[in-house]
Every structure is written in structure tokens, then in C-alpha cells.
Amino acid sequence: MDIGIDAIGFYTPHYYVDLVKLAKARGDDPDKYTIGIGQDQMAVAPATQDIISMAANAVDALPSARLDGRLGMVIVASESGVDESKAAAITVARLTGLNPWVRAFDIKEACYGATAGLLMARDYVAAHPTKTALVIASDIARYGLASGGEVTQGAGAVAMVISAQPRVLALQDDAVAYTEDIPDFFRPTGMTVPVVDGHYSTAAYLDFVTKIVGQHQVQYHDTITDYAALLFHLPFTKMGKKALAALTDSVRLGQRLTAASQLSRQVGNIYTGSLYLSLLSLLCHDKTMQAGDRIGLFSYGSGAVGEFFSGILAPGFADHIGQAAVIQLLAEREELTIPAYEQMFNAQIPLGDAPAAFPPENSPARFTVGGRRDHARWYRDTTKSMTEGD
């Protein structure tokens, strides 16, 4: 029985910064950002978007018929959550009106969390073939203004329905995972930005990718030539190029990686959703991919866990990735000047539980953060005349 991704929904905030302008403002050569790091634009989350509202907006981008009574499990993966205890998945399920007869919970392991959720969902459907699962990756990547990692920030969410007879990608039972306790990137409780050693983290990533793909070849007797495309977690798109170069010099795989990097170039690092944004980008931007093609996916989460697995494209996959909505979402975005970006970056809802209230966000987003009241955040839903704040 094939099990895998049946539909994909994507959301990124309404605002972005042009990285040539950011480079100039920081006194850097723009080529360093656009060529050396491989990023053109960076999504900026206003205070009215958090990982819950973004996750709900990504779910809203899915065909609603896929979220019927068969849904049995809702997983949110994130490393930028807003509560130390309560799962974001519970609030997302309520906001989006999901069937309440589900297991809803969160997963955290840096940028690897969504892969853990996806493979857990695959096992769940294998055990219960009439059921489906919803896996949502949602994150805001923040390193700080003028910090070393600033150009690799971003924000967004990817929602995936996992089912039997999937219409996008059948996940193969061939995952190879590796874990090693390393201090490349971590964010102690109470800190708003991570402690990161950028160059060490890129070296660790490359060490993981060669080790894990090599082990996959030993265990499953595959070679790079078996793959129509290789996808990677993309903290910045040059990282994917480095990873591919460590494995092969194939021109064909290089071209496909270019297509798979397009959306990340415009959005930035969305942490745990980044690998799946790359899958979406490949399917939207490379018209030569065909049903039956094998795709290899490399997931990396600092700390660190890496995993390599593969999937086979399903017939008609292009009809289930919401491509028109992705194009519209990005086309409608608003560019921020550098001072406006800096102001938005600093105007976040403070840590803790103090009351806060925001005016409605001037954007097409259905779900936004309204503020915080009685210790908890509340959300606006533009399809409802009465909001939680009324």
C-alpha cells in the first residue's frame, strides 16, 4: 500500500525585504547575499503572525475535502513555539475547524521536527489505512538585526495531508537517521534568538549529509543516479548546492536543485518546513518532473539529527500542490524598506503573558494574532464577523 503526501498547503507572511537593499544597508557586497549565500528576498513576520496563525493559514491553503472525518492525528512541528506546555496543534485544530476526534500534539527538534512528524504520520497510516494525518511545519527564523545570521532569516508554514493512495508523493520505507549531540545551534529557554556557530553548523550539516546518504547506499544498495531529484533542508540555498556538490557533480540534479531552491530564495529559512518548501518549489518550478520519478530528501535539524529518505511522485501530483495559490501569495507580498523591516523586527509581542492588542493586519491572511488577554494569545479569523477579541 502506498502512503505519503496527499496535498500540500503553504503560507508565508505578507512582508519581505529585498536582500540587495539589506546588503547595502549593512555595508556588504550584494553578491555575497545573492550568490555567496544564495538568497534574494527574506520573509518578515509582523507581530500579528506567530507559528499558530501561520500554521492555520497553511492549513487553510489545503483543499478542505482532505480534512474530513478520516483525520486522526494533527502534528505541528516547530522550534519557535509560543507556549512551553500547550501544543500549538490544539489551537490550530480549533481555528481551522478540524474534526475534534484527533490526537493533536507538537514535535520539536530544530529543523528536523517536521520530518519526524511526517514519518510518524506515515507509520500511523500504515497501521490504520483508513485514517489520515495532518503534519504542519511552522517557524519564524530570527537571528537578530545586523547579526551574522540575519540574511538567513525567514518565516512560513507548510501543511501536508498524509494518507494511503497519496496524490503527491508516496513515501518509501527506506529512511536512514543519524543523531549526534553537537552544539552547532540551540536556543536556551527564554532567549529570543539562537546561539549559533554558523561555520561549524554548515560543516556539521555537510558531515551529516555525506555520512547518512553513504549509509543509505550501504543499506538500500541505491546510487545517486537512481534519483530524479535530490532535495535538502535549505537554511540558505547555497547550503543545498554545497550538499549536492559533496555527493555528486550531476548537471541534471543541479538543475533540479535550482528549481527546488526558487521558493527558498524568496522566503528564506523557514526552519522545519524548509525541506518541504523545497519539494513544493521543485514541483512548481520544474516542469520536467514526472509521475514515477524518485526524489531523495535530506532533512537536517541542528543539535543534531539528520535523515535521508525517498519518495515516488504520484500521477497527477501537479493538481494537488496549490501552485496558483503559492504564486498569488508571493505576488501579493509587500516589500518593506530597511527601516520598516527593522521596526517590524523589534515590534514583536514580548515574552511572558502581559496583555497586548494589535489592530487587524492589512493583508489577505485569514488568521492573524489579535493580541494577548487573560495570559493567552487570541486570533482573528477574517471569515468570522465576531473575533475572539470581541
8 A C-beta contact, residue 138 and residue 111: no
The 70-109 contact track toward ligand HMG, x by CB under 6 A, reads: ---------x------------------------------
Q: Quick check: 180 binds ligand HMG (CB under 6 A)?
A: no
Q: Which amino acid belongs to residue 140?
A: I
CA-wise closest residue to 211 among 129, 307, 130, 122: 307
DSSP letter assigned to residue 109: B
Angle (deg, nearest 10), helices 251-267 and 237-247 = 160
Q: Check residue 146 for interaction with ligand HMG (CB under 6 A).
A: no
Q: Does the annotation count 111 as an active-site position?
A: yes
Contacts of 339 (CB under 8 A, 6+ apart): none
Stretch that binds ligand HMG, among 17-25, 127-135, 294-302, 359-367 (CB under 6 A): 294-302
**Catalytic option among 109, 111, 307, 320:** 111
- Cβ atoms of 93 and 104 within 8 Å: the answer is yes
- We find the least distance from the C-beta atom of residue 38 to ligand HMG, in angstroms, to be 9
Which one of 196, 209, 280, 369 is in contact with ligand HMG (CB under 6 A)? 196
We find the least distance from the C-beta atom of residue 158 to ligand HMG, in angstroms, to be 14
Question: Among 12, 68, 70, 21, which Cα is nearest to 44's?
Answer: 12
Cβ distance to ligand HMG smaller for residue 113 or 371 = 113
- Please tell me which residue in 14, 216, 233, 320 is annotated as part of the active site: 233
Q: Which stretch binds ligand HMG (CB under 6 A): 31-39, 40-48, 97-105, 115-123?
A: 31-39
> Is position 387 an interface residue for ligand HMG (rule: CB under 6 A)?
no
Q: Smaller CB distance to ligand HMG: residue 134 or 137?
A: 137
CA pair distance 364, 43, nearest whole angstrom: 15
Among 12, 138, 269, 310, binds ligand HMG (CB under 6 A): 269
Q: Is 43 in the site for ligand HMG (CB under 6 A)?
A: no
Rounded least distance, CB 41 to ligand HMG, Å: 15
**Contact range with ligand HMG by CB under 6 A, out of 30-38, 245-253, 258-266, 366-374:** 30-38
Q: Which of 43, 62, 73, 110 binds ligand HMG (CB under 6 A)?
A: 110
Beta strands in 121-184 (DSSP E): 132-141, 154-164, 169-171, 176-179
Shortest separation between residue 189's beta carbon and ligand HMG, angstroms = 15
Nearer to ligand HMG, 183 or 198 (CB): 198
User: Residue 298 and residue 234: Cα distance in Å, rounded?
Assistant: 10
**Could you count the other beta carbons within 10 Å of the beta carbon of residue 350?**
10
Binding of residue 315 to ligand HMG (CB under 6 A): no
Q: Do 184 and 200 touch, CB atoms closer than 8 A?
A: yes
Nearer to ligand HMG (CB atom), residue 132 or residue 237:
237
CB 366 within 8 A of CB 53: no
Residues 6+ apart with CB under 8 A from 164: 1, 2, 3, 125, 129, 130
Rule CB under 6 A: say whether 134 interacts with ligand HMG.
no
Identify the bridge partners of residue 186 per DSSP, sorted by sequence position: 195
For the bound state, the minimum distance from the C-beta of residue 271 to ligand HMG, rounded and expressed in Å, comes to: 5
Q: Which amino acid is at 60?
A: D
Q: Put residue 268 in one of left, alpha, beta given phi > 0 → left and psi -120 to 50 → alpha.
A: left
Binding flag, residue 353, ligand HMG (CB under 6 A): no
DSSP 102: S
Contact flag: residue 115 with ligand HMG (CB under 6 A): no
How many contiguous H segments (helices) and E segments (strands) does the chain have? 11, 18
- The site for ligand HMG (CB under 6 A) is made up of 29, 31-32, 35-37, 79, 110-111, 148-149, 151-152, 184-185, 196, 198-199, 201-202, 205, 233, 235-236, 238-239, 269, 271, 300-302
Q: Which residues are catalytic?
A: 79, 111, 233
